A and B are shown apart, each in its own frame.
Chain A
Amino acid sequence: MKKWAGITMTLALTTVVALTGCSDKNNSSGASDSGAGASSPASSPSGTTSAKPADPVTLRLSTWDYSDRKTSTDAFIAAVKEKFNVTIQLENVPTDQYESMIKAKFAAEDGADIVNLHSVLPGNYENELAQRGMFADISDVGGLDDYLSSAKEINTIDGKLYTVSISSDALGVLYNKKVFKDAGLAVPTNIDEFTAAMDKIKAAGIAPIAGGFKDSWAAQIIPFIAIAQYMQTGDHDIIKKLGDGRAKYNEPTFIKAENVQSDWAKKGYFQNNFLGSDINVASAMVGTGKAAMLICGTWQFKAVQDADPAAEIGFFALPLNAPGEQVTIPTASVGGLAINAHSKHVDVAKKVLEYYLSAENQTRVIADLKGNTTNTKVKVEDHFLSEVNAALTGAGYVASHWHGFFQAAGIGTHFDKGWQNVLAGGTTNEKLAEEADKIVAEELTKKK
């Protein structure tokens, strides 16, 4: 009997609450973020940057990386509330589902006001959305001159700027300095020195490279670096050519690049059971000295250092170059925020974006990201980053825009799982290259 009373009461209560409280879209009330957030009809102030607008505004912001950037994001939200009386309603979606969520939301005309994007390079879904006018042109936002032109170029289509990439990460080797010191090794500068170093470390009983290949994306890094070294050095536009069919994947240089990782796997340069370890474990292994090197992007630094705050972690470019040649370093641009063209508060969003891009905010963001800021006014004092910069300055060629690698849709997933599959023995590098050409051909016939 008690059970029934309980259930009926709960039912009644909840029905009442539900019917009265919950049917407006922008209901923002969260314990930790918005406090007194109320959504008001669009009375957005005109573009002066002076006083606080009188009416509070709520802006929805979609992102995937709240967990990686908690500190700076929280500070940003607080500052925006204080300066502009704008409440940011954060919608954090896990990485895997992010692309689908954004597409679904925009398809249903329910996109957030501000959206975190990777970039609008061709081949990405963001590009298609931008071309359909889903994002606002932000060329008139203040403070853009502080940014490197490369951060803006890759995000410009037909003269319209859609987002600004706020940092770029280099792909290379994060290494545990103690392991190298104990083995008496100096930073290798070409492939022979690198291979010798790996052999020496292996002989000392430590895994030379930590492979976090349970995460399929981690299996792409070494191939990307190899592609940069073997292919982009000689032809800076090779990526574009692969994307529009002028060049083919299925040819010896590409396959040579693919083979670097699989050969190293066969020779035992990765730790045991590397298919069962994800990137976190691999990072922790390097941090604690169980492995010597992690070949990844500089964004992974935090995870490595956290495993042992006392460890000294350094960076050098992966020297796939032959002795006498110069090394090429690929970089990846971290995305930036874009504004939904159909938002009811485009003007307010632009002011918020301006603040986001300001040196004050970016200093905090970079502290979380550990990338190379593209904002020329932000100064970062960090010895890891200085090593990264030194490597970049010392390189022969810095190939940019890793995310632009996949020009054809579907190539992304193909290689993402594909290279992992090669390591698992499920397919071969040659087959992957063959299939890639087929996928590109299909995409191109579709586009006609």
Chain B
Amino acid sequence: MRYHTVIRLKWFLFVVPALLIYLVFFIVPSASSAFYSLTDWDGISYRFVGMENYIKMFQDDKIALAFRNTLFYAVGITILQNVSGLAMALLLDRKGRGVSALRMFYFMPAVFSPLVLGYVWGFMLEPNIGAVNSLLGALHLPSLQLDWLGNPAYGKWMIVLITVWQFLGYTMVIYLAGLQGIPAELYEAGDIDGAGRLSRFRHVTFPLIAPSFTINILLTTIGCLKLFDQIFAMTRGGPGYATQSVATMIYTIGFGPGGKWGYGTAVSIVLFLFILILTVFQVTILRKREVEM
């Protein structure tokens, strides 16, 4: 008996460092934020207000807008990033001297800080003196000189496009890994049966990269639901509240003048639950699919 207990403890020790740090620096603060969400804490003093923050939230149409925007970002970015990432992976799944370099180029934007790139893009998309509109002017296309970030309709799309631009390399790399795991024999079998390119993709490739697909979809969705840096740097959630995501909204509520941290924490807890539900939903569907493949 003692021997087994010792062994069990030894195994547990492997997990202890990670568990300790995770508990102290992550779980404990997260839990206490649950407490703060029931107060009207503004950083200096607080009163217990029960569920008031949560009720206010559901009546606040700015927060509803932020949730809608966040869904837009999550869906838009996940779809575009995965389609383009997969496309690039398929095109670059080959040998050859240039291939490494090509893959590097597509990955490179991910090496930069999203906040920094957001500022740079904000500068380039400036409607009056920015590089993009200047270039369009030089090409004699003044009708295309739009207010890329200042016009609410375009602003949201620019955030989607720029995030995809930055991270499609990441998605591509994960798909490449998946593609390289497909044994060549399966392709040859398909060729013998006379399958065309498209058919090969549908029946051999796509099913076998199901794990990559799962991971990518999950990671991009979760990341997008928390989207902050790019929006913060490019539009600050503006103009007005047009491009706010829930994460930037929490920031504005909590860190703007007259910071309402109690309220902000309540919103972040709701965001957490939102992401949790969506993730569980996604995982269930995607795992089912993987099993079937």
Contacts and interface: CB of A to CB of B under 8 A. Distances in A.
A190 interface: no
Given A104-B43, A420-B240, A413 B257 contact: yes
B238 A103 contact: no
Contacts of B150: 213-214, 273-277
Interface in B126-174: 126-129, 146-152
Contacts of A272: 127-128, 147
A281 interface: yes
A125 B44 contact: yes
B226 interface: no
Interface in B237-259: 238-242, 252-259
Contact of B44 (A129, A273, A285, A424): A129
A281 B122 CA distance: 12
Interface residues on A, range: 35 or more
Interface string A426-446: 110000000000000000001
A277 B127 contact: yes
Q: Which of B43, B148, B241 has the most CB of A within 10 A?
A: B43
Contacts of A421: 238-242
A132 B42 CA distance: 14
B267 interface: no
Interface string A401-418: 000001001111100111
Nearest to A284: B129
B114 to A, nearest CB: 17
Contacts of B44: 103, 106-107, 125, 128-129, 132
A423 interface: yes
Contacts of A214: 149-150, 235-236, 238-239
Interface string A52-88: 0000000000000000000000000000000000000
Contacts, number: 124
Nearest to B254: A100
B126 A281 contact: yes
A99 interface: yes
A216 interface: yes
Contact of B255 (A97, A128, A277, A406): A97
A447 to B, nearest CB: 11
Contacts of B47: 446
B125 interface: yes
Nearest to A411: B258
Which has the most chain A C-beta neighbours within 10 Å: B45, B149, B239, B256?
Answer: B239
B126 A277 contact: yes
Interface string A122-140: 0001001100100000000
A355 to B, nearest CB: 30
A298 to B, nearest CB: 22
Contacts of B40: 446
Interface string A147-168: 0000000000000000000000
A272 B126 CA distance: 11
A312 B87 CA distance: 56
Nearest to A288: B129
Given A99-B255, A410-B258, A424 B45 contact: no
A96 interface: yes
B43 A275 contact: no
Given A103-B43, A128-B44, A409-B42, A275 B239 contact: yes
A240 B43 CA distance: 24
Chain A contact residues: helix, strand, loop or mixed: helix
Nearest to B240: A421
Contact of A416 (B127, B151, B254, B256): B256
A411 B258 CA distance: 8
A259 interface: no
Contacts of B252: 413, 417
Nearest to A426: B240
B209 to A, nearest CB: 29
A327 to B, nearest CB: 29
Contact of B242 (A128, A129, A271, A424): A424
A423 B43 contact: no
- Which of A104, A128, A216, A271: most chain B CB closer than 10 A? A216
A107 B43 contact: yes
Nearest to B147: A273
Nearest to A123: B258
Interface string B37-73: 0001011110100000000000000000000000000
A427 B61 CA distance: 11
Contact of B258 (A125, A213, A418, A425): A125
A213 B127 contact: no
Nearest to A131: B44
A100 B241 contact: no
B159 to A, nearest CB: 14
B239 A271 contact: no
Interface in B205-261: 235-236, 238-242, 252-260
B206 to A, nearest CB: 35
Nearest to A290: B128
Contacts of A97: 255
A123 to B, nearest CB: 8
Contact of B236 (A125, A216, A422, A425): A216
Contacts of B256: 96, 99, 412-413, 416
B255 A426 contact: no
A276 B240 contact: no
A96 B152 CA distance: 22
B42 A426 contact: no
A271 B253 CA distance: 30
Given A276-B149, A421-B239, A424-B242, A100 B255 contact: yes
B234 to A, nearest CB: 10
B41 to A, nearest CB: 9
A99 B257 contact: yes
Contacts of B126: 276-278, 281
4 closest cross-chain pairs (CB), A and B: A421-B240, A276-B150, A275-B150, A103-B43
29 contacts: A97-B255, A100-B43, A103-B42, A103-B44, A107-B44, A128-B44, A129-B44, A132-B45, A213-B239, A214-B149, A214-B150, A214-B236, A214-B239, A216-B236, A273-B127, A273-B150, A273-B151, A274-B150, A275-B150, A276-B127, A276-B148, A277-B150, A285-B129, A406-B257, A418-B240, A421-B238, A421-B241, A426-B152, A426-B240
Interface of A: 96-97, 99-100, 103-104, 106-107, 125, 128-129, 132, 213-214, 216, 271-278, 281, 284-285, 290, 406, 409-413, 416-418, 420-427, 446
Given A99-B257, A132-B44, A276-B128, 14 more contacts: A96-B255, A107-B44, A125-B43, A272-B128, A273-B146, A274-B150, A275-B150, A277-B126, A409-B42, A410-B260, A417-B238, A421-B241, A424-B242, A427-B240
